[in-house]
């Protein structure tokens, strides 16, 4: 819970009456007051916040309302406090994980540090994945050979486009139009370069197109 200065002042008397050791604890983080319970702050026993609310060798100053003064960025303290409340890391879409990590390390909240680092490593891994590449081939064929060509394409090759090149030839008693057939194949590469298997397949022509009249362009 975040409190404005006026609300914190109004709530101050109760905290001071209990000597600051009641159930509720106020924290003034970089000028923004947060209200939480001692149980929440003590959830991670080795953390700075746990030691602070237990008074272990941490002589933190207090503001006029009795709230502990902590000279840190309040922007990233909300996710820290919420993690101690329910054990989950919840960030606004515009909040930098690096900023929360810095604060989690300062407050010595080990489980949160590990969660953030795992998330950042996962994102880095995703970014380094190389998008698939496409290899294109152009085949020249006659009209009557189109069906055979498409049906006998080797595995992984896909028909993309058929272009009538405008020329024709006489085949027996019929005139046959000639076409350019564009086919493609998707190659997946690792961040360190294409695998040997992918490279090998990339060099294999569309072997099923075995008609000697089909030529590579």
Query: CA angle, 16 as apex, 13 and 17 as ends, to 5°?
Result: 85
Q: Could you tell me the end-to-end alpha-carbon distance of the chain, in angstroms, rounded to an integer?
A: 70
Evaluate if residue 106 carries a pLDDT over 90: yes
Buried b (16+ CB within 10 A) or exposed e, 109-146: beebbebbeeeeeeeeeeeeeeeeeeeebebbbbeebe
Predicted local distance difference test score (pLDDT) of residue 10: 41
As a whole number, mean pLDDT of residues 74-93 equals 93
Specify the higher pLDDT residue, 122 or 108.
Answer: 108
Predicted local distance difference test score (pLDDT) of residue 58: 64
pTM of the entire predicted model: 0.51
**147 in Cβ contact with 201 (< 8 Å):** no
What confidence tier does 129 reach under pLDDT thresholds 50, 70, 90? Answer: low
To the nearest 10 degrees (0 to 180), the angle between helices 97-106 and 77-86 is 70
CA distance 25 to 36: 5
As a whole number, mean pLDDT of residues 137-156 equals 77
CA distance 150 to 43: 66
| Beta-bridge partner residues of 158 | 184
Phi and psi at 106, nearest 5°, equal -60, -45
- Computed over its alpha carbons, how large is the radius of gyration of the chain? 34
Predicted local distance difference test score (pLDDT) of residue 110: 94
CA distance 69 to 64: 10
Specify the higher pLDDT residue, 187 or 81.
Answer: 81
Predicted local distance difference test score (pLDDT) of residue 186: 81
Mind listing the pLDDT tens digit for each residue in 36-70? Answer: 999 999 999 899 999 887 766 566 789 999 899 99
As a whole number, mean pLDDT of residues 115-120 equals 92
């Amino acid at each position: 819970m975040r409190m404005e200065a006026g609300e914190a002042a109004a709530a101050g008397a109760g905290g001071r009456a209990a000597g600051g050791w009641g159930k509720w604890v106020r924290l003034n983080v970089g000028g923004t007051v947060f209200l939480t319970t001692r149980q929440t702050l003590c959830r991670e026993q080795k953390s700075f916040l746990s030691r602070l609310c237990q008074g272990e060798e941490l002589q933190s100053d207090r503001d006029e309302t009795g709230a502990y003064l902590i000279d840190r960025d309040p922007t990233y303290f909300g996710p820290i406090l919420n993690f101690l409340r329910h054990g989950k890391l919840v960030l606004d879409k515009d909040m930098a994980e690096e900023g929360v990590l810095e604060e989690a390390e300062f407050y010595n909240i080990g489980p949160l540090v590990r969660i953030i680092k795992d998330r950042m490593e996962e994102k880095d891994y995703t970014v380094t994945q190389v998008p698939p590449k496409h290899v294109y081939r152009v085949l020249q064929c006659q009209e009557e050979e189109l069906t055979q060509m498409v049906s006998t394409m080797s595995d992984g090759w896909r028909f993309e486009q058929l272009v009538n090149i405008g020329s024709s030839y006489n085949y027996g008693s019929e005139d046959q139009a000639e076409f350019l057939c564009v086919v493609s194949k998707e190659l997946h590469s690792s961040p360190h370069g294409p695998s040997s298997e992918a490279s090998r397949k990339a060099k294999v022509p569309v072997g099923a197109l075995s008609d000697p009249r089909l030529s590579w362009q």
